[in-house]
Amino acid sequence: MSPQTFIFIGRSGCGKGTQVKLLDSLIKEKDPNSEIFYLETGMRFREFIKNDTYSSNIAKSIYESGERQPDFLAIWMWAHLLIESFKGTEHLVADGTPRSLSEAIAFITAMKFYNRQHINVVYINVSREWAMDRLKERGRFDDTDQTKVEKRLNWFDKDVAPAIEFFKNNPDINFYDVDGERPIQEIHLDIVSKLGW
């Protein structure tokens, strides 16, 4: 199997991480000799704001206020990781990145730089109400403040939706719109079917 690129995108709480784990298992089964390179900026960002630097303190303040981080910081997170560690032979999986139109454009330029020709965008499509209920159930530390959760859901409509439209209308991208309001395994099987596996 040639190296594949997967971008999982959707509202907070839609189950991106769960579906990434299921796809990970399937890739390891189908292509056991290849590595998988992960771009998961949320976790990396939470680690970054634990630092005590000028930049991390500003980012922490923005995070604590519930605002969205500037695009340059998100791009720096994943670009730095690619530049430092990506070998080019791995399958690449991006979980929750990109989160804006400008970040999506930057991501595609990076993929062109790395000559990645098989870009699969999996949009896990859930309603705002469904996502809100799921976040309440999940109970992760950054899901407990209702105001911050509302802001994150608002970012999706304002910032992420244009990135999704960009991917959807790009003829060089395999775009898969997946109904995320179903049982986990059913969603996984739908993704596998859409990928032609």
Which DSSP string corresponds to 45-93? HHHHTTS-SHHHHHHHHHHHHTPPPPHHHHHHHHHHHHHHH--SSSEEE
| Mean pLDDT along residues 151-177 | 94
pLDDT given for residue 145 in this prediction: 67
Residues whose CB falls within 8 Å of the CB of residue 155, separated by 6 or more in sequence, listed in order = 68, 99
Does the pLDDT value for residue 142 go beyond 60?
Answer: no
pLDDT band of residue 195 (cuts 50, 70, 90) is very high
| Tokens, residue 172 | 């060089």
Give the rounded percent of residues in the chain with a pLDDT score beyond 90.
Answer: 76
pLDDT given for residue 21 in this prediction: 96
CATH number at residue 176: 3.40.50.300
Mean pLDDT of the chain: 92
Model confidence over 36-79: pLDDT tens digits? 999 988 778 889 999 999 999 999 999 888 788 999 999 999 99
| Mean pLDDT along residues 180-186 | 97
What is the β-pairing status of strands 36-39 and 174-179? unpaired
Does the pLDDT value for residue 194 go beyond 90?
Answer: yes
| Mean pLDDT along residues 75-91 | 95
- How many domains is the chain built from? 1
| Mean pLDDT along residues 170-176 | 96
Residue 43's domain comprises 5-195
pLDDT given for residue 66 in this prediction: 79
Residues whose CB falls within 8 Å of the CB of residue 59, separated by 6 or more in sequence, listed in order = 45, 48, 49, 69, 73
Does the pLDDT value for residue 144 go beyond 70?
Answer: no
Cα end-to-end distance, the chain, whole Å? 11
Model confidence over 104-120: pLDDT tens digits? 999 999 999 999 988 99
| Mean pLDDT along residues 14-19 | 94
| Mean pLDDT along residues 138-142 | 59
| Mean pLDDT along residues 174-183 | 98
pLDDT given for residue 119 in this prediction: 96
